[in-house]
Structures are given as structure tokens and as C-alpha cells.
Structure 1
Amino acid sequence: MSEPKELSPSYEPAQQEAGELPEGWLSVQALDLDAQGVARKPDGKVVFIDGALPFEYVSANTHRKKNNWEQASLTAIHRESSQRVRPGCQHFGLHAGACGGCKMQHLHVGGQVAVKQRVLEDNLWHLGKVRPQTVLRPIEGPAWGYRYRARLSVRHVIKKSTVLVGFHERKSRYVADMVTCPVLPPHVDAMLMPMRALIASMDARDTCPQIELACGDSVTALVLRHLEPLSAADIGRLHAFAAEHQVQWWLQPKGPDTVKLMEEGGEQLSYGLPDFGITMPFKPTDFTQVNPHINRVLVTRALRLLDVQKHERVIDWFCGLGNFTLPLATQGREVLGIEGSETLVARSRENYRLNQRLVAEGGKALAPTDFVARNLFDMTPEMLIADGSAEKWLVDPPREGAFALAKALADIEQARIGAEGAAPLPPGAEKWTPPKRIVYVSCNPATLARDAGLLVHLGGYRCTAAGMVNMFPHTAHVESMAVFERD
């Protein structure tokens, strides 16, 4: 990529206003979800440009053509965006071998937040025809050292006589040759090269494809995926590494259900939610949020927006380990957590019992709370009514969203108002009342927008607020939150 240049003296403002550009130049208007600059050719054809930022004038080399769009790589910047910054990691960029873990390090973090907020609002409107009454202030946190969960690929590259540990290269199945990663916690970043040396020294160097990282508040766990039994010598090497770097090794010979702590004892992996006096133990393969700094703020804001009163019943849909459920139990009269995984439900119950004891020691009590395992992608109005009425809902689904849940709620409303083509009200519906407020936490703005459309246009709700959550700085991942109120 050439050095950034100012506009040439021959390029007059009048030409800019008329939309005329020197031949071969492109005016970048937006950024897409893959962090590609979006421009249009004079004939209107859309061009997606790797490495370009909004409001830049650039030249690019097209490497893929379709009827309505092209993909291109940046070759020169003629006018640079005021939001362009020097990447904070030496492995980020467009060069061969660049790490693909981040996509936006060349954009100021404030610009990243603005882009993601725009993506959320655009999705809500274009996909769901929903406009929030209030745009919430973005939730932000540390831009570096935030990634407490990561899946690191491991490869013994015989031709290079080295072992690589890290993320994949950009648009490649190869592992990037990383010596540092500033989005990982500093103590984990410092372990990258020692991990490479460790694997290189092992008998099983060719059959250990992955190391999964899970950091708690005071414990760092590393899950080693190994395709063959480890020798006694290799176990000894892992013990020595654990002692030197103060980590726990977990071994995974097959699927996730085979993960086991290599050496029993020691402190339990956990994270805290201090605003609620809650401690959440977890296993390194359990789903927990990648960014604990943001998670603490996220839970606090979600519960503030939900505004649960002492007399109210709450349902936490897709409750996982109880990340929202247990804080809700400090506020409401009764809580129900529903999750698709039996394993996570069992863990939620354990976490509830643990926190019940901890809270009781402080002279308080958690509200009665139950956990149920159910496939929430098969939700029906009958199942919804069977779960009973609740004044408030917290919904935190995976990327697929909560379509079946939103549709079941909308179907009941349509039946209730006698809409044309609506199914009859299910048995028990006359005594069932819909929640008066829903807080929906999303990791996919497209599925949030789809579900919001159902809730607003068919379910009898209005979207009173929505905002983005920068859970993954420097990536194109968009987390968000929306609030729905009954009309």
C-alpha cells in the first residue's frame, strides 16, 4: 500500500461537489460488516475495498467481479480519513501472512463504535422496519487486553521447523506466525512464544491442533486438544509450564464433553458480577462472554433497563450459566431460567445454590429460581403459556436469534385481537398475560431486527430503546441491546 497522499492540486472542490473524480479513483462512502470500504463506480456498480475507510479517496485493484458488485484490494490512499490510525499490532494488515483475528485496527475505536451503531440502526430499519424511540449510549471498555476467551490454532510446520500458535491468517486456513497479540490479556500475550516452544518440545507436537483459552478473575485455563494419548514426558512438560506460568491445563482427547482438569485441586475458574454480589463458576468450554469488563456493564445496564420490582416474576430466555438469571434473582419475586442445554441447566442450578449460600452469609436472599432445559427454537404458543405469565423478560439468544419465541408471542397477540388468518387462542391463554417489558441482548443485529419486526408489527410492542455494545473491539462483530414495551 502506498503512503497516504493529499488530493492532487488539479482536483478542484467543484469537481468534488459534482461527484467527478480523477480516473481510477473511488470515493468510499461506508464500511460493511466485514470492515470493507464501500464505494461506487461511475456506472453505479458497488465496489468492496479491503483496507479502505469511509470518506477516503482511494485506488484499488479488483480481484473478483460479479454482475452487481466487485471486490478489490486497496493500492493507494489519495485522501486519508481523519479516523485512520496506526494499527496497534504488528500482525494486522493486508500483507501476506497478516493475522485475521481483527479487521478494524486501522480505524479509531470511536469510529468503530459509530460504524457498529449505524449497522444496528440500519438493520433494525431495513430488515425489521423498526426505529427505536431512543438510541442508547454505546457500551465501551478497554480496546486492548480484553479477550479473555480465545480459540488458538496450533500447527507444527515442518518446512519452517517451527510451531505456530495463534489465529488464522486473513482469508486463509493457515495459522498466522504471531509473536504477540495485544487483544489478549498481557499475561497470555506473554505466553505465546513459550507456548510455541512448549508444543515444539512435545512428542505430540503433530497431534495437538488447538489450545482454548479461558480466563477467570484469578485463574487462567488452557484446554489442550490432543488427538492421541499424551506420553508421560509430555504430561511432565505441561506440569512444568503450568507451574512456571501459573495456569491450569485441561485436556480434551475427543469432544467437548471429554474435557478434564489435568491436575485436580486448585482454585476454581470463575468470574464475578460485583454489582450484584454474584460469583459465576464455569468450565473452560462453557459459553461465557469474551470480554468480562463489558459483560459486567452489560448485565448492570440490562437489569437497570428491565427495572424489575420486588413483586414481579421474570423469565430469562437462553439463560446459559445464569449470567443474567442470578442477578435477576437479587431483584424479583421469582425467576425462571430456560436454556437448551441440559448441561448448562445443571451448571446453572449449581451456581444458584452456591450464590444462595454466599448471599445468605451477607444477610440477604435470592428469589426462588428454577431452571428448565428446552429447545427454544421449537417454541410454540402452547409452550409459552405453559411457562406462566411474567411481568418482565430477558432474552439473550445465540446468533440465530429468538424467532420462535418472538413468533409465539406475536401469534398469541394476533389471536387475541382476532386478526385475519390467526389461529385460535391456545388453552389457558385467557389467564395468561404477556410481559410488559422485554430486554433483548443480541450478538447478531440481523436476527435482532427480524425478531424486533415481529414484536413491533405483530406482537403489540414498541421499541423504546436500542444501542450497541462494543464487546469485540477491532472486529466487525456487533453486540447490541434493545428494549420493548407493551403498547
Structure 2
Amino acid sequence: MPCFPRPQDPGTLARIDQTPFEADILDLSHDGRGVARRPEGHPNAGKTVFVAGAVAGERVMARQTSRSRHFDEAEAVEVLQASPERVEPRCPHFGTCGGCSLQHLAEDRQIVAKARVLAENFERIGHVSPEAELPPLTGASWGYRRKGRFSVRRVEKKDKTLVGFRERDPRFVAELRECHTVVPKLGTRIEALAKLVDGMDARRAIPQIEFSAGDDATALVFRHLEPLGERDRAALVDFAKEHDFAVFLQPKGIDSVAPLWPEDPQLSFRLAPWDVELGFRPLDFIQVNAALNEKMIARALELLDVQPGERVLDLFCGLGNFTLPLGRVAAEVVGVEGDAGLVARARENAERNGMDHVRFHVADLATDLKHEPWMRAGFDKLLLDPARAGALEVLKQLPLKGIRRIVYVSCHPGSLARDAGYLVNERGWTLRTAGVMDMFPHTAHVESIAVFEPA
């Protein structure tokens, strides 16, 4: 999700001069805010100001919202001179809801901004640059979000229950009528969902609803802090039947998730180009954007260029999103993941797809791995798809001799840049090519892919 200003307490806001001021927007920050500087003559001349809702090249009236020693934060209240790259946001909640930060920027410019963020991270953090730049991967920019979490809050002053993403100020829940980035089956039913919860006896005890959409079923997981009575359970079942949702309840931790209706809902999605089907549970990690996920897998396999007879290691493999398509072209694939539940599902998926040459192991890839048997097996190619923290710890331990190519899929440009710097500057590899993928349109989230080869 995009980053937003840290909330200020009322006392702090009272001490900030909130008189609107003119600002020339010089650049766009990594989190989608405009970058301005205090003008000459101001007591803090030259100080950076991050302005939410502004686009590079614009002149705006802004109001300060917070301050720190090194920079101030503000929001645009009026656009005095608009950039040609500015567009009218499609969503009526844009500017309040924190789910998107770039709807006011033309879609073809959003991906350009993300490519620049990646390049700047390579230069500033990794002190590297790719020999070539991959063309960006893009797809449909609306109705793509098949997984996420809505916050729920009962607001007594409004006498209603709010269901939505957090506002820009994350202390508050945005009151959504609809969401154009969520899959339409759910994005058009947020008001109905809020009405459902508002009518429940336990409406004050439901803090969140997670959603996860497969090809044939969409699951809603209701987290509840107290047991649900029969009336509430019946209301959830009626809602599920009326709108064709699968409803799960979560009274405690992840292991407590259980279906309410239907009795045994099945969630899965197909990766048609490789004739692969992956089953998953509603809280399992899956890529948010189904169409971009297929394009990303295709690009990763193309870049990895697996040849007949080669063995491939897939680290941070999850459910087998890359592992199983790799199994269609490689002689042997080994997937490693730290979440034992995901590995169990990955093994089931390998069996479901008839791939006995694809094996999975459970291992915490941020710890000492010298006793792991798969670490000593020789591999020809390596694929990495880590979480935001990156893959530095495992890269430091891997015997890279014999590996002819690494494809690194990243959800955080900073950790990719750091790891690229390690591979290039300390292990002697070459960063051949890299590029961005628009997995999260209208947000500042940067998904990227990079290819490394021995020097």
C-alpha cells in the first residue's frame, strides 16, 4: 500500500500554521506526493514539503498538515496551474481514502514514475544500474484487486458502521460506497456489506473483513472479537447466498479461520498458459492482480530461459505461483518457503497438477541454512520472489557457483536495489536488465523484476 503522512495529535495541529500557501511542485516522491521547497524569504527557506494530491509541474495552494525536523507535509487544497498529466480521478472517494494515491495522474505517467523510482533506488541504494531496461508490464487498471482487507468501525456519532480501506490519516476508516480497483463483484457491494454489519448484534466486535477472489468463488473472512449469536450467523449466511460469497469466520488467529457457508468452499485460480491450477485458503498470500500475475510469470520464465534438463531453485515460493509453471519446462524444480501452511498447499498443488518432479521444502530463509539439504544440491537457474524485506540473508549463504542466471521478482525497490548492490559489488555478478510491473495501478506500489548473470 502507498505511504501517507503520520497522523498528528490535535495539539500538534494547533501549533502548525495552516494558512494556505502557494507551492511550485518540482517532482513526485516515491509515495506519490508532490515535492516542493519553501521559497526564499520563508523562515525555513529550502526546506522540503511533501504535498499530497499534487503533480510535478503544477502550482497549487497547499495547507500544512505536519512537520518534522527535515521536511514538512501538506495537502493540496486548490490547483492554480494544472499539469497536462493531471486527470480527473474516477473514484469519488479519492483524496480521502488511502487505498490509492495516484488516480489524479494519467495512467501512462504512473508507470513512468514507478520506473524512475526503481532507477533512483538502484543508483542511490545499490550503486548499480542495469545494462538494459525492460519495457514495463501493464494491464487493466480497474477492478483488478482480488485480495485485500477492509477495516470496519462502528461510528456512534454518525449512527452507522463504516467498511472500507483506511483514510490517508490511518486513524480513520474511509466511508466507501464503492471501490473501482476491487474486483467488481465486491467493489460494487461495499455499501451492502456495511449495512449487513451495521445490522448485526456484534457490529462493534468486527474490526476487519478480508477478501480473496478465486476464479469461481470469492471469500469474505469476518474477524470477530466475541462469539457470534445465531441471529448474526444467519444474517451472514443470507448475505452470502444473496450475493454469492463464501463466508468464513475468524474468532482468533489465522488457524481459527473456518467456513460458515457453504460448508466446504473451494478457492482456486488457473494459470491457463501452463495448464496449472492452484488451490488456496482465504488468508493465503496470492498475487493481487490476476492478469498481471500471468504476464509476470510469462516474463519471469522468458528471462530465466530454462533449457531441457536444467534444475531450478525457486525461493520464497509460496503456493507455487512460479514453481509449478516452471515445472512445465524444467527437469526438476525445488521450491522453498518459510510458511508451513503455504508449503502444504504447494505440495497439494503439485499433486493436483501431476508434477512429481516439483518438490517443496519449509525453511526460514532469513536464518542459518547450512544444514538444509537443498542448499547443497546443484542448480542451474535461481528465481527469487521475496517479501518487502528482500533476500539478502539467503543470498549471503547461497553457493552461487554453477548458477547461470538469477531472476529476482521484487515488491520493494529499496530491498531489490540493496540486494542488487550486494550481488554486483560483492559477489561479482552483472545486472543485465530490470523493469517495472504495474501490479497495483493507481497506487505508489512498485513491483519490479531484474536479471543477474555471472560477470
Deviations 1:454-485 (A, max 9, x none): 11111121111101111111111111100101
Question: What is aligned with 2:17?
Answer: none
Structure 1 counterpart of 2:134: 136
Please say if residues 259 and 265 of structure 2, whose CA atoms lie closer than 8 Å, have aligned partners that are also in contact: no
- The residue that corresponds to 1:31 in the other structure is 28
1:482 is matched by which residue type in structure 2?
A: A
Q: Greater CA deviation, 305-314 or 188-197? A: 188-197
Secondary structure, aligned partner of 1:159: coil
Q: Distance in 1 between matches of 2:133 and 2:151?
A: 39
Deviation by residue 1:22-81 (Cα, 9 ceiling, x = unmatched): xx6433221112211112334432221111111112333334344432222224333211
Larger radius of gyration: 1
Determine whether 1:466 maps to 2:430. no
Alpha carbons 2:212, 2:219 under 8 Å: kept:
yes
1:263 aligns with 2:261: yes
Q: Secondary structure at the match of 1:309?
A: coil
Question: Contact (CA 8 Å) 2:369, 2:375: kept in 1 or not?
Answer: no
- In 2, Cα distance between the equivalents of 1:345 and 1:456? 31
- Number of the residue aligned with 2:385: 396
- Provide closer, same or farther for how the CA distance between residues 155 and 44 of structure 1 changes in structure 2, counting only shifts above 3 A: closer
Partner of 2:15: none
Give the SS at the match of 2:125.
Answer: helix
Alpha-carbon distance in structure 1 between the residues aligned to 2:338 and 2:330: 23
Alignment partner of 1:101 is 2:69: no
TM-score between both structures, scaled by the size of structure 1: 0.85
Q: What's the counterpart of residue 80 of structure 2? A: 78
Q: Please, what is the CA RMSD of the aligned residues?
A: 1.9
Alignment of 1:32-181 (within 5 A): 32-41=29-38, 42=40, 43-93=45-95, 98-181=96-179
The equivalent of 1:449 in structure 2 is 417
Q: Using the TM superposition, name which of 169-178 and 253-262 deviates more.
A: 169-178
Match of 2:279 in 1: 281
Specify the SS of the correspondent of 2:302: helix
> Which of the residues 194, 212, 218 maps onto 1:220?
218
Distance 1:87 1:245 in 2: 28
Structure 1, 236-245 or 371-380: larger mean CA deviation: 371-380
Deviation sequence 1:167-225 (CA, Å, 0-9, x none)? 11111322111111111111212221111121122121121111111001111110011
| 1:216-255 → structure 2 map (5 Å cutoff) | 216-255=214-253
Q: Deviations over 1:135-174 (max 9, x none)?
A: 1111111111111011011122222221111111111322
- What is aligned with 1:209? 207
User: Would the aligned equivalents of 1:50 and 1:73 in 2 still touch at CA under 8 Å?
Assistant: yes
Secondary structure, counterpart of 2:26 in structure 1: strand
Report percent identity of matched pairs.
44
Change (3 A) 1:388 1:283: same
One-letter code of the match for 2:149?
A: R
Partner of 1:436: 404
Q: Tell me the secondary structure at the aligned position of residue 162 of structure 2.
A: strand
> CA separation of 1:451/1:201 partners in 2, compared to 1, >3 Å: closer, same or farther?
same
Distance apart, 1:385 and its partner CA: 7.7
CA contact (8 A) 2:311 2:379 kept: yes
Give a deviation string over 1:393-419, Cα, whole Å, max 9, x none. 01000000001122224xx67xxxxxx
Secondary structure (helix, strand or coil) at the match of 1:456 reads: helix
Does residue 476 (structure 1) correspond to residue 449 (structure 2)? The answer is: no
**Relative to 1, partners in 2 of residues 1:340 and 1:387: Cα closer, same or farther, differing over 3 Å?**
farther
The question of whether the paired residues in 1 share the 8 Å contact of 2:411 and 2:447 is answered with yes
Aligned residues: 431
| 1:154–1:210 Cα contact (<8 Å) kept | yes
**What does residue 6 of structure 2 align with?**
none
Partner of 2:397: 408
Q: Is the 8 A contact 2:163 2:193 kept in 1?
A: yes
Q: Secondary structure at the match of 1:378?
A: coil
CA distance in 1, matches of 2:339, 2:133: 33
Give unmatched runs, 5+ long, in structure 2: 1-20
1 CA distance for matches of 2:68 and 2:173?
Answer: 29
For residues 337 and 415 of structure 2, the distance between their equivalents in structure 1, rounded to whole angstroms, comes to 18
Point out the more displaced range, 317-326 or 25-34: 25-34
Counterpart code for 1:408: Q
Aligned partners of 2:48 and 2:72 also within 8 Å = yes
C-alpha displacement of 1:437: 0.3
Residues 62 and 229 of structure 1: is their aligned pair in 2 closer, same or farther, counting only changes over 3 Å? closer
Question: Which one is further off, 246-255 or 188-197?
Answer: 188-197
Q: CA deviation at 1:116?
A: 0.5
Superposed CA offset, 1:328-385 (max 9, x none): 11111111101111111111111100011xxxxxxxxx46121111110114567598
SS across alignment from 1:296: helix
What's the counterpart of residue 358 of structure 2? 369
Q: How far 1:119 moved relative to its partner?
A: 0.2
User: Residue 15 of structure 1 corresponds to which residue in structure 2?
Assistant: none
CA pair 385-223 structure 1, distance change in 2 beyond 3 A: closer
User: Contact conserved, 1:152 with 1:167, CA < 8 A, in 2?
Assistant: yes
Q: Distance in 2 between matches of 1:440 and 1:340?
A: 18
What SS does the corresponding residue of 2:157 show, helix, strand or coil? Answer: helix
Which residue identity is paired with 1:206?
R
For residue 132 of structure 1, what is the amino acid of its counterpart?
Answer: P
Alignment of 1:341-360 (within 5 A): 341-356=339-354
SS in 2 for 1:407: helix
Q: Secondary structure at the match of 1:49?
A: strand
Deviations 1:254-295 (A, max 9, x none): 011110111354651111111100001100100001111111
Residue 336 (structure 1) aligns with: 334
SS of 2:343's partner is helix
**SS of 1:206's equivalent?**
helix
Unpaired segments ≥5 residues, structure 1: 1-23, 357-365, 414-432
Separation in structure 2 between the aligned mates of residue 28 and residue 189 of structure 1, nearest angstrom: 33
Check conservation: 2:350, 2:356, Cα contact below 8 A: no
